[in-house]
Structure 1
Amino acid sequence: MIKILMVLVFLASAIGIGFATRATSRSIDGFVLGGRNVGPWMSAFAFGTSYFSAVIFVGYAGQFGWKYGLAATWIGVGNALLGSLLAWWVLGPKTRKATRELDAATMPEFFGKRFGSNALRIASAAIIFVFLVPYTASIYNGLSRLFGMAFGVPYEACVVIMAIATCAYVVLGGYMATVVNDFVQGLVMLFGIAAVIVGVLDGQGGIAQAVQSLAEVSDPSTSLVAPFASLFGPDLPNLLGVVVLTSLGTWGLPQMIQKFYAIKTDSAVQKGAIISTLFALVVAGGSYFLGGFGRLYGDQIERGANGSPVYDSIVPTMLSGLPDILIGLVIVLVLSASMSTLSSLVLTSSSTLTLDLIDRNLVDFKTPERKVACMRALLAVFVAVSAAIALVQHTSSVTFIAQLMSISWGALAGSFLGPFFWGLYAKRVSRAAVWTSFVVGVGLTVGNMILGSFGMPVFASAINCGAAAMVLSLISVPLVSRFTKPADPAAPAQNRQDAPTA
């Protein structure tokens, strides 16, 4: 009863916030960016909660904690310093200024106006649609395992409940409903992570005893003594690849960069950087630190037919012995992480598809109200599509969907990181360089996936492939621009007809 009440109160509050913020979502800037008037606390929490979902807490924490032990905590540290602090410092002020001058509400719109090319705008919107929408389906997976552990609720019911609740508040209140809910959900995540770590370690006799027990776990693949309790773990090169992908990736992901569009002042950016970094240290650092003790549950976790661990089962197994109130808190924590990320993804997808692909290319909406109505409708469609993909993946042997999810970060950030960064900081960037980055980002990650299906991958890990795509994007844009004609950006925008009035 305690667990059920906690979940019901959480869901009711999320939908209530949607009703309370619906007045802010009538214009395009209001629905997509909250009128560009969001403060540092809400912006920072929106960035953090969009960054860390159930995929991190359940999937990645279990997987990388098992592989690297306590050294997996470095992933959380990298997420905080490189993925949050530096991203805010380097991209935040420039992004806020440039997108206001160009009057760009989405990343494809920025590319189209910054490089004076509608083709680049359409291509980037298509890349977002292909790689962002299927990625949303992975958000449901960790949640389903925890719901099954706590309530015995079928996977299908978990997917439907979360999809309906998320759709309700985002359709009602748009971006402001998302960021206000992100703030509430972020508080739940901060408190929940701390409480869960204490509960799990207490069950192992305290932190000193838990570390000692972990130090006694050996690994025949390495000559290291106590590899899973060591500073850098048994496989430092691959650990660094995970740090790069999960940290540098935020610099090129449209749903993350959008948070800088909406923040109201430069001083708010500086405050938001510190708040976001501390949030990431607690949530990401705490999640990976917790996952580092997964080896202590090696005799309890679910294993596949070949005897290898099912990574998504590790964290739920670690939590299964906690008191009911803590399990209820974990459920709300993962609901928070999942719904905040899902809302950010579908809002980005619906706004991009409406403003950058449909409007004027397929349909002339003529009025801002019609554009907002289209975004609301597509948002509901995207939530339904993501739920359907999750259900298909769960009930069939379709592997392509899972592979597409695993490369989405690499494909998106590998395509957009270089053009966006150099588009902010360099005057001489060519359209050819941007196209090159798009081809390299999508081509390398998808090509590696296809070759991998034939047993001939260029990179054995999709994570290392994504990290390489990001680095190549940063290098290729200035290199190609040096030998090709620079693009002419669009003139600074005047007040847009659908912008909110003073």
Structure 2
Amino acid sequence: MFIKILLTIIFLCITVAVGIYSRKQAKSVDGFVLGGRSVGPWLTAFAYGTSYFSAVVFVGYAGQFGWKYGLSASWIGVGNAVIGSLLAWIILGRRTKLMTQHIQSRTMPDFFGTRYADEWLRVVASVIAFVFLIPYTAGVYMGISKLFEMGFGIPYTYCAIIMAMLTAVYVILGGYKATAINDFIQGIIMLFGITTVIAVVLNSQGGLIEAVSKMGEAVPTAHDLDDKSGLFAHFQPGDFASWFGPAPLSLLGVVVLTSLGTWGLPQMVGKFYSITDESAIRRGTIISTVFALIVAGGCYFLGSFGRLFPEPLYSVEKHKYAYDSIVPSMLETLPDVLIALVVLLVLSASMSTLASLVLTSSSTMTLDLIYRDKKSVEGEVEGGEIDDVVAEKIERRKVVVMRVLIVFFIALSLMIALNPPQFIAQLMGISWGALAGAFLAPFMLGLYWKGVTRLAVWACFVWGVGLTVVNMMLGNALMNPIDCGAVAMVGGFVVVFVVSLVTPKMNRQSVENIFKCYE
């Protein structure tokens, strides 16, 4: 216990120290939100990866999908690396950097408002981002708190509150630069931690070959067969050790949600806003992909052996296992030093994701609602004229407002985390489905296609949020939250394309001016 507490205290002291170190660069809006648009490839790549993978993946997704799909769950990690990282950087990185800098966009809602010349798009997008990032944040709290409960014996409530307070401290102090530096430190811990834990867990099962052999003998339990989804209806012996598992189509839906979804999440795309230049994007692409392959691939590979450990608790009323307890139960027998490493691993992943989420939420609310246009700023100045001194004061005021909203956002998501309505994976599915379903298609197509119309963007907002909310209100009667999120994302491209063909085009000259950044 002494070792676990000592390592955790050292880690937390470092994160706060980084916040103090970075506070000088967080006085302006660009400094606080984007790190002055001068963050290098290593920091950006690690910030992207650590924001991508949190306790939601390590505890929630790895446990649930490893149990359902066996070794084939590892494909989710491969998809996260290839689609969620490599292709995301190649397709979005350069164009996002150039266009957002050209139109002076600081957030994704700001991009929608400027790119499509509609202030209400900016407002609605910021509300969507703020509302649906809350359940994702709550899921992150739940994941890390369950690991702390297992490793330290500290009640879930206290774990969540402590983590919320510490995250708030270093984000409020140092903004994006502090977050990026801490992400780099936390990313190194994640790389070392996941490889070590996998080696030890496999060794406890007699090695890789023996563990795979045992998985080949695993069969669905009686409770699995009670699952109303019909996931194991056509199960064949050896499916849990096969290439594509017992339900390939269902597995594909998870790959789409967790991989393609990052392309439409404000906290992920925002990383491309802040990177230094195009050469840094090329280097960041390689670094981010390797990081994702090790961390995401490792998490799902580890979770895929969940059936070799004690069966999780089953809720007869909900017809569901306590999936969030699978990975913690796999780690309970580890030596204290390794449990401390696991706690730091998940703490690193979770705090980096939380920092990114709260910074994104506060910046969108401040810049896209409270100070969404020049008039809202000029209204504070007598005569409507802004000199350099007044402009600097307003910049500082915006930063103060963002810091206040960080506290508000953390408190609100913490309240949900203390009374969670869903499992971790379902919370994340709802959040990713609504956000990426609404934002992915109009954002990506807006970078490439001049023909996207304003009404097409509105239609996609309605489609992504509407499908997710209706399905949630019907008790997931249409489809489970994971599949719903995947359908929302892919369907968004159809919606934007079709509506753009039949609705009035935007002003040709203004669109041409926006796309000059690529010449």
Q: TM-score range by the shorter chain?
A: over 0.9
Q: 2:246 — aligned with what?
A: 234
SS in 2 for 1:205: coil
Q: 2:298 — aligned with what?
A: 286
Q: 1:161 — aligned with what?
A: 162
Q: Which runs of 5+ in 2 are unaligned?
A: 226-231, 382-393, 515-519
Deviation at 1:491, TM superposition (A): 9.4
Q: 1:252 — aligned with what?
A: 264
Q: Deviations over 1:430-467 (max 9, x none)?
A: 101000100100111111112236xxx222x1111111
- The TM-score normalised by the length of structure 1 is 0.93
Q: 2:486 — aligned with what?
A: 467
Contact 2:33 2:363 in 1 (8 A): yes
Deviation at 1:474, TM superposition (A): 1.3
Of residues 442, 450, 453, the one that matches 2:473 is 450
Of residues 405, 419, 442, the one that matches 1:378 is 405
Summarize the Cα distance change of 1:113–1:282 in structure 2 as closer, same or farther, 3 Å threshold. same
Q: 2:339 — aligned with what?
A: 327
Contact 1:76 1:286 in 2 (8 A): yes
Deviation at 1:304, TM superposition (A): 2.6
Summarize the Cα distance change of 1:360–1:418 in structure 2 as closer, same or farther, 3 Å threshold. closer
Matches within 5 A, 1:80-159: 80-159=81-160
Q: Deviations over 1:104-144 (max 9, x none)?
A: 00001111010000010001011111111232111111212
One-letter amino acid matched to 1:304: S
Q: 2:352 — aligned with what?
A: 340
Summarize the Cα distance change of 1:474–1:185 in structure 2 as closer, same or farther, 3 Å threshold. same
Q: 2:277 — aligned with what?
A: 265
Stretch moving more, 247-256 or 207-216:
207-216
Summarize the Cα distance change of 1:191–1:439 in structure 2 as closer, same or farther, 3 Å threshold. same
Contact 2:143 2:424 in 1 (8 A): no
Contact 1:116 1:490 in 2 (8 A): no
Q: Which runs of 5+ in 1 are unaligned?
A: 494-502
Contact 1:411 1:466 in 2 (8 A): yes
Is 2:494 the counterpart of 1:480? no
Contact 1:113 1:490 in 2 (8 A): no
Give the distance between the partners of 1:490 and 1:70, measured in 2 at CA: 48
Contact 1:102 1:490 in 2 (8 A): no
One-letter amino acid matched to 1:252: G
One-letter amino acid matched to 2:447: L
Contact 1:34 1:174 in 2 (8 A): yes
Contact 1:131 1:404 in 2 (8 A): no
Stretch moving more, 316-325 or 129-138:
129-138
Deviation at 1:149, TM superposition (A): 1.3
RMSD after superposition:
1.9
Contact 2:275 2:281 in 1 (8 A): yes
SS in 2 for 1:452: coil
Q: 2:229 — aligned with what?
A: none
Give the distance between the partners of 1:481 and 1:318, measured in 2 at CA: 50
Of residues 408, 427, 431, the one that matches 1:408 is 431
Identity across matched positions, percent:
57
Q: 1:497 — aligned with what?
A: none
One-letter amino acid matched to 1:283: V
Deviation at 1:321, TM superposition (A): 0.6
Is 2:451 the counterpart of 1:428? yes
Give the distance between the partners of 1:109 and 1:189, measured in 2 at CA: 33
Summarize the Cα distance change of 1:83–1:217 in structure 2 as closer, same or farther, 3 Å threshold. same
Contact 1:2 1:325 in 2 (8 A): yes
SS in 1 for 2:250: helix
Matched length: 484
Stretch moving more, 307-316 or 462-471:
307-316
Is 2:336 the counterpart of 1:317? no
Give the distance between the partners of 1:195 and 1:302, measured in 2 at CA: 27
Q: Deviations over 1:270-303 (max 9, x none)?
A: 111111111110010000000000001144x333
Summarize the Cα distance change of 1:353–1:106 in structure 2 as closer, same or farther, 3 Å threshold. same
Is 2:428 the counterpart of 1:417? no
Deviation at 1:400, TM superposition (A): 11
Deviation at 1:334, TM superposition (A): 0.6
Deviation at 1:392, TM superposition (A): 2.8
Summarize the Cα distance change of 1:157–1:124 in structure 2 as closer, same or farther, 3 Å threshold. same
Q: Deviations over 1:225-263 (max 9, x none)?
A: 211111100000000000000000011000000000000
Contact 2:80 2:259 in 1 (8 A): yes
Is 2:461 the counterpart of 1:438? yes
Give the distance between the partners of 1:422 and 1:213, measured in 2 at CA: 46
Q: 1:304 — aligned with what?
A: 315
One-letter amino acid matched to 2:478: V
Give the distance between the partners of 1:72 and 1:157, measured in 2 at CA: 32
Deviation at 1:161, TM superposition (A): 1.2
Give the distance between the partners of 2:252 and 2:121, measured in 1 at CA: 32
Give the distance between the partners of 1:108 and 1:381, measured in 2 at CA: 20
Give the distance between the partners of 1:368 and 1:145, measured in 2 at CA: 40
